[in-house]
Amino acid sequence: MHDALTDSKALLVRRWGELGGYWGISRTMAEIHALLFVTGDPLCTDDVMAQLHVSRGNASMNLRGLTDWGLVQRVHKLGDRKEYFQADTNVWHMFETITRERRRREVEPIIATIDRCREMIAQLDSREDRAADETQGFCRRLDELRGFLTTMGALFELALRFGPTGVAQLTPLIQAASGQPEPRGPTPAESPRGAAVRSGSKRAQPRSRRSRR
């Protein structure tokens, strides 16, 4: 069992490292974050070096980066001079942190660039505008891109405002809209006992009709 647990943790660390580039960090940083996440307990730099086979400089640099992201916190143990690091294991907090940080680092600069481009176009002298159709088409694409990015940002904010409980309540609607099959068994808001009572009441109806005969 221990080997299976160790292998499963190692597999998640590798896969999470491969996905690191999709949310804007290096593979090593993603692997360190995954290691801290699956471990749960605080690890020092030496622990990270030994388990991921990375240099001290590489481990220190990426642990500092994860701390800057807010995904990892420094932890001090009484009587131990080493500095330990621990990941926030709350998945919702992790999603919120990554979403906000990526938007700050990537989306907001793009929106600012789009606004600057529109200002540059607005300063064009009409006599110098030798391709009005091309300019209008460019402005239209800029506005569509900005509108899309703004809408996606609003959707993320809405999801964060709902919180994990609110999103869980919306899951059946999302599954229905996407064509996914509904989960079998009682829903989270329905207790197994309540489902059994309703199921029993449905089975009792034919007997009640026969008794009236």
Q: Identify the H or E element spanning 207.
A: helix 192-212
State residue 182's pLDDT score.
59
Q: How many CA atoms lie within 13 A of 141 on its CB side?
A: 6
pLDDT tens sequence across 5-52:
888 888 889 888 888 777 778 899 999 999 999 998 999 999 999 999
pLDDT in tens, 122-180: 887 655 555 677 888 888 999 999 999 999 888 888 877 877 777 777 778 777 777 76
- Exposure on the CB side of residue 212, measured as CA atoms within 13 A: 5
Q: Which amino acid is at 213?
A: R
